Amino acid sequence: MYQSRIIGLGHYVPENIVTNDELSKLMDTNDAWIQERTGIKERRWVKPGSGETTSTMGTEAAKIAIERAGIDKDEIDFIIFATLSPDYYFPGPGVMVQEALDIKTIGALDVRNQCSGFLYALSVADQFIKTGMYKKILVIGSELHSRGLDKTTRGRGVSVIFGDGAGAVVLSRSEDAKKGILSTHLHSQGEHAKELSLVAPGMGKRWVSDILRENDPNDESYFPYMNGQFVFKNAIVRFVEVINEGLQKNNLTKEDINLLIPHQANLRISQFVQHKFGLRDDQVYNNIVRYGNTTAASIPIALTEAWQEGKIKEGNLVVLAAFGSGFTWGSAIIRW
């Protein structure tokens, strides 16, 4: 069985910065309130009319990752795109990236696992490579949240959290069994699906035509809903569990961790997990203060920035972990 290694990383975020003070002009909130609860100071939101979409941001991140991998785009065997905010209801953005990059008729797979989407996508890519099916896989996480948020006081509990952006990695086959993705671990708990969800439009409930026909100004079904406290309580438990699961699988301990990169859901969650594992500030990478929660894009953006800043060195043990809507959660243990 082969090993899979990350050989290229890239990220892209819109130029438009939206600060907490700017949000206070749209809704009843303020910088102190947002920072206290989330740790976020600003986020990137696509400017209306800019032409930027989930797939175009993913494409830009992918170009950088491919260039840094030192390969030709036609060496890519497969594309996996994780998002909850595709350009179209269908088809998914994977094929749009394929077209934009002018890549031959390889397969393209879309993953809809929200906050843990990148880890699910990475796990699928890892298995494809380890079993010998593919040699080089492009894995993308990209989100455009800003157009689907309730930017009023009614929706402030959710809207202040989310940002737009994309990250990508190139995964490659390796013969070195001691380096690369050592293991991935995925879980879900569907009984809590409604605690962090967006109900409409959906085929089983209410479709776009129903929403337009009813024209109800109080209808919140097409905006994201989050039971914040319940999500927080579950997240801190599952983060710790799934990280420990990965460490135990590989006969490692928390002392072996060089860098933990958690999904950027809430700085308070990351700080809790850091405390539970007794990690120093320089052993945990957080960038939520600048970008907010970019869902499937948060881990690849943070991973890319950490690598760019020299915080990841050859031989380091890097741990990725995420928790979110579904509930779904997961971890990846990587020897760099």
Catalytic residues: 115, 263, 293
Residue 97 near residue 59 (C-beta atoms within 8 A): yes
Residue 14 near residue 54 (C-beta atoms within 8 A): no
Beta strand ranges found along the chain (DSSP E): 3-12, 17-19, 42-44, 78-82, 107-111, 136-143, 165-174, 180-188, 196-197, 225-226, 259-262, 317-324, 328-335
Token readout for 216 is 């109800």
Strand order in the sheet with 180-188: 180-188, 328-335, 317-324, 259-262
Bridge partners for 110 per DSSP: 81
Give the C-alpha separation, 276 to 12, whole Å.
32
Residue 309 near residue 291 (C-beta atoms within 8 A): no
Instruction: Output b/e per residue, 34-44; b: 16+ Cβ within 10 A.
Output: beebbbbbbbb
Give the C-alpha separation, 111 to 107, whole Å.
13
For every residue of 239-286, DSSP letters joined together read HHHHHHHHHHHTT--GGG-SEEEE--S-HHHHHHHHHHHT--GGGB--
